[in-house]
């Protein structure tokens, strides 16, 4: 063979060996990519979806389900199924008892499915072998269609399919912290997705994709506006804009909600007070609710932040949270609306440990809220820190509907630049045993209502969605939206399973990719805890933007806004004493936990400095001193990011170049910033402890003053 021929042959081999990615992916398609399967899998898939059958006149929701199935099957197999009315072999059949009376011959467990559940099963129906997607409602069919596509994408055997699922939580909601000027408080994904200026006339097609993505997870409600939003959102112009969004989301089973500023009647100059017990105020809210429901008949209701961080509330008039919540609840009750009233409260005047205040205010009100009020409680008692013990209100209000609020956007876990998969954090919380009995209930059993037999159940996630092309600011942050939705549907889902299915749909279903990326995700949150706030430390971030370390900050107007309030580090030790000799926050937990948390020797290491102030030479379970252990955790956090970075490099041949490069760039930033957190915190704690660094520990490269001098006027996410 001539040299030229040999070179050409070699080039051909190299070209063929290199994976060819059909398109550069920018992340817009999320986990709903439906890229072509290999030809064998593609034709197997097509065999099970030779046509889509719906036997009755389709609603908008059924049309959405059919369109998704056509898009998905077409994308994955190259063959887009026709939509027909009559049964045929190999069809995918969408059926409710109303659309197909013959369903009853199959003796399916339809009652178990409730109003939103679905069932997927290969059956013989009137002589035809078909795959059935059955539900009691159109939205159940839509959820079933998405579930079937998910299973197809993740390699399930469609021939032997038999599965059913019902959501365990009734309200599965996103909370947008989006302002009316399109800034997003704690948003790291660009401007608000809601283009308020152009609504209601211009309806961005992206809203439909937003609805599809949420429906694919079973999310059925969205609060469009920030809990700190202006009262203006309740004026006619905004109601019209909200109605336009509601029209787009409705076919996907998603209701819209708005935030209600408690002082709205006063601020809009339509009342002389906002006192909830004043009949004129109650009448104002009633008429406002009527006005909204006229425009949006299925409006979900209001989310309220009251008497918290400067927001107005019933306490401004000497009333309590129940007075305020019930007054609003009565305005929406005739329309089946709900009031989600947040328990995230801490007072500017109180000198009580901030971690205790919500419990102190809400626990005495147990049983005093109307049935359409849900008290929305953050996962922990401070504020979405990388790790917090579960909020003591879970289990403490048996006569009240308690909803769970999680943060999907990563205000305290590295914004959209750090890779931190929150599935493990959510799972840790949901599985936490409240120990009200010898064993259980878990937080999940409180939240899904199974323990206290509550019917109004809710899980809300503070959205990480913006107008960024990749929606959540980074590819991996899409996984946090995804896992929130999957766990709101089923709080017992595991972080690992959800990660695996997300990776398979988002990057590739090849085991080498799924295994490696899942591993990166599963270790990522613990890495962040370690390089930011190990061993129960919390609230060490810098001021305002909350970007980067600021353990030295001690000059903010309110004591409980300062990191020094939380770590209390000095020459003698570190940590917040919440035991019986300290703030006694431990007493807010069930006695079994209270005992465990009262003693540093029984407190789990991960909560040690949350509950105890301990000397630097305190002897840890590992045999190290506390000082050595703190440093070891900081180092472990940095190392873990480096490991993930190395794993990602190896995946280069299996991931499309655009997304691979973007993630690689972010991991490089994360490694640099993990190092920065580690160095700055060690420099600070060393300055207060006066201790030498243990042998072999690398000293921070800069002086403490140099870390303190860093300023970030450009950091995103301020409200």
Sign of CA dihedral 503, 504, 508, 510: positive
Local structure of 302: helix, strand or coil: strand
CA-CA distances (angstroms) from residue 527 to 376, 634, 703? Answer: 29, 9, 24
Using CB under 6 A, list all residues that contact ligand GCV. Answer: 177, 185-186, 226-228, 305, 309, 344, 383, 411, 719
Tell me whether residue 185 or residue 673 sits nearer to ligand GCV (CB atom): 185
Shortest spacing between CB 346 and ligand GCV, in angstroms:
9
Gap between the Cα atoms of 279 and 116, Å rounded: 39
Shortest spacing between CB 543 and ligand GCV, in angstroms:
11
Closest-CA residue to 480 (of 427, 544, 402): 427
428 catalytic per annotation? no
Backbone angles phi, psi at 177, to 5 degrees: -100, 50
Tell me whether residue 184 or residue 493 sits nearer to ligand GCV (CB atom): 184
Tell me whether residue 126 or residue 543 sits nearer to ligand GCV (CB atom): 543
Count Cβ atoms within 10 A of the Cβ of residue 662 and give its class: 0-12 exposed, 13-18 middle, 19 or more buried: middle
Shortest spacing between CB 308 and ligand GCV, in angstroms:
6
Contact 369, 401 (CB under 8 A): yes
Per annotation, catalytic residue among 191, 247, 270, 309: 309
Three-state helix/strand/coil letters over 161-217? CEEEECCCCCEEEEECCECCCCCECCCCCCCCCCCCCCCCCCCCCHHHHHHHHHHHH
Per annotation, catalytic residue among 68, 316, 388, 411: 411
Contact 212, 252 (CB under 8 A): yes
Task: Extract the tokens encoding 285.
Answer: 């809210």
Question: Which residues 6+ apart lie within 8 Å of 100 measured at CB?
Answer: 55, 56, 93
Task: Extract the tokens encoding 130.
Answer: 């078909």
Tell me whether residue 46 or residue 541 sits nearer to ligand GCV (CB atom): 541
Place of tokens 């997607």: 133
Tell me whether residue 213 or residue 460 sits nearer to ligand GCV (CB atom): 460
CA-CA distances (angstroms) from residue 456 to 132, 391, 401, 441, 486? Answer: 31, 19, 6, 18, 19
Tell me whether residue 558 or residue 621 sits nearer to ligand GCV (CB atom): 558
Shortest spacing between CB 383 and ligand GCV, in angstroms:
5
383 catalytic per annotation? yes
Tell me whether residue 376 or residue 506 sits nearer to ligand GCV (CB atom): 376
Shortest spacing between CB 177 and ligand GCV, in angstroms:
5
Shortest spacing between CB 282 and ligand GCV, in angstroms:
25
Shortest spacing between CB 627 and ligand GCV, in angstroms:
30
Per annotation, catalytic residue among 383, 427, 433, 477: 383
What is the b/e burial string over 210-239, where b = at least 16 CB atoms within 10 angstroms of the residue's CB?
bbbbbbbbbbbbbbbbbbbbbbebbeeebb
Q: How many residues does the chain have?
A: 719
List active site positions.
309, 383, 411
């Amino acid at each position: 063979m001539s040299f030229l021929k040999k070179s050409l042959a070699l080039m051909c081999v190299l070209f063929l060996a290199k994976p060819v990615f059909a398109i550069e992916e920018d992340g817009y398609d999320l986990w709903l990519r439906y890229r072509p399967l290999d030809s064998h899998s593609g034709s197997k898939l097509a065999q099970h979806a030779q046509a889509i059958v719906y036997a009755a006149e389709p609603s908008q929701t059924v049309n959405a389900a059919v369109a998704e199935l056509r898009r998905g099957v077409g994308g994955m197999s190259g063959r887009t199924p026709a939509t027909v009315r009559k049964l045929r072999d190999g069809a995918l059949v969408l059926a409710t008892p109303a659309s197909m009376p013959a369903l009853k011959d199959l003796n399916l467990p339809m009652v178990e499915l409730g109003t939103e559940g679905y069932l997927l099963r290969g059956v013989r129906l009137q002589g035809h072998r078909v795959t059935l997607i059955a539900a009691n409602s159109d939205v159940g069919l839509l959820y079933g269609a998405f579930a079937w596509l998910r299973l197809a994408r993740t390699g399930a055997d469609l021939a032997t399919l038999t599965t059913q699922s019902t959501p365990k939580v009734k309200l599965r909601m996103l909370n947008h912290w989006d302002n009316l000027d399109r800034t997003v408080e704690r948003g790291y994904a660009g401007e608000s997705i809601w283009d308020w200026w152009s609504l209601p006339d211009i309806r961005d097609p992206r809203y439909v994709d937003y609805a599809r993505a949420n429906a694919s997870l079973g999310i059925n409600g969205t609060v469009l506006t920030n809990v700190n939003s202006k009262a203006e959102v309740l004026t006619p112009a905004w109601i019209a804009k909200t109605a336009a969004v509601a029209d787009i989301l409705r076919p996907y089973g998603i209701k819209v909600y708005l935030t209600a500023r408690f002082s709205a009647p006063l601020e809009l100059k339509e009342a002389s007070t906002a006192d909830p017990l004043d009949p004129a105020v109650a009448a104002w809210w009633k008429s406002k609710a009527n006005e909204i429901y006229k425009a949006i008949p299925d409006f979900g209701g209001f989310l309220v932040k009251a008497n918290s961080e400067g927001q107005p509330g019933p306490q401004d008039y000497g009333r309590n949270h129940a007075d305020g919540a019930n007054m609003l609840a009565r305005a929406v009750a005739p329309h089946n609306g709900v009031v989600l009233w947040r328990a995230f409260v801490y007072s500017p005047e109180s000198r009580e440990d901030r971690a205790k205040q919500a419990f102190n205010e809400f626990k005495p009100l147990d049983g005093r809220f109307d049935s359409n009020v849900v008290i929305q409680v953050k996962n922990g008692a401070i504020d979405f820190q990388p790790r917090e013990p579960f909020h003591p209100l879970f289990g403490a209000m048996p006569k009240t509907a308690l909803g769970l609020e999680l943060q999907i956007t990563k205000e305290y876990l590295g914004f959209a630049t750090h890779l931190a998969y929150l599935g493990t954090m959510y799972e840790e919380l949901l599985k936490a045993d409240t120990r009200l009995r010898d064993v259980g209930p878990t937080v999940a059993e409180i939240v899904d209502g199974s323990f206290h037999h509550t019917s109004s159940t809710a899980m809300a996630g503070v959205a990480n969605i913006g107008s960024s092309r990749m929606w959540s600011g980074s590819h991996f942050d899409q996984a946090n939206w995804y896992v929130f939705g999957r766990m709101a549907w089923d709080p017992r889902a595991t972080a690992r399973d959800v990660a695996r299915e997300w990776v398979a749909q988002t990057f590739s279903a090849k085991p080498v990719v799924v295994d490696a990326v899942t591993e990166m995700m599963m270790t990522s949150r613990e890495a962040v805890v370690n390089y930011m706030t190990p061993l129960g430390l919390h609230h060490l971030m810098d001021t305002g933007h909350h970007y980067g370390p600021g353990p030295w900050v001690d000059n903010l107007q309110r004591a409980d806004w300062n990191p020094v309030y939380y770590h209390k580090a000095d020459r003698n030790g570190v940590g917040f004493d919440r035991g019986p000799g300290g703030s006694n926050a431990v007493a807010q937990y069930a006695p079994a936990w209270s005992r465990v948390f009262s003693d540093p020797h029984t407190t789990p290491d991960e909560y040690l400095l949350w509950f105890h102030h301990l000397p630097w030479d305190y002897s840890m379970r590992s045999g190290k001193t506390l000082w050595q252990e703190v440093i070891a955790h900081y180092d472990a956090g940095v190392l873990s990011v480096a490991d993930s970075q190395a794993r990602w490099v190896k995946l280069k041949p299996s991931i499309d170049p655009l997304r691979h490069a973007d993630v690689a760039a972010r991991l490089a930033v994360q490694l640099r910033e993990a190092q920065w957190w580690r160095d700055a915190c060690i420099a600070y704690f060393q300055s207060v402890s006066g201790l030498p660094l243990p042998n072999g520990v690398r000293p921070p490269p800069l002086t403490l003053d140099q870390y303190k001098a860093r300023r970030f006027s450009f950091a995103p996410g301020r409200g």
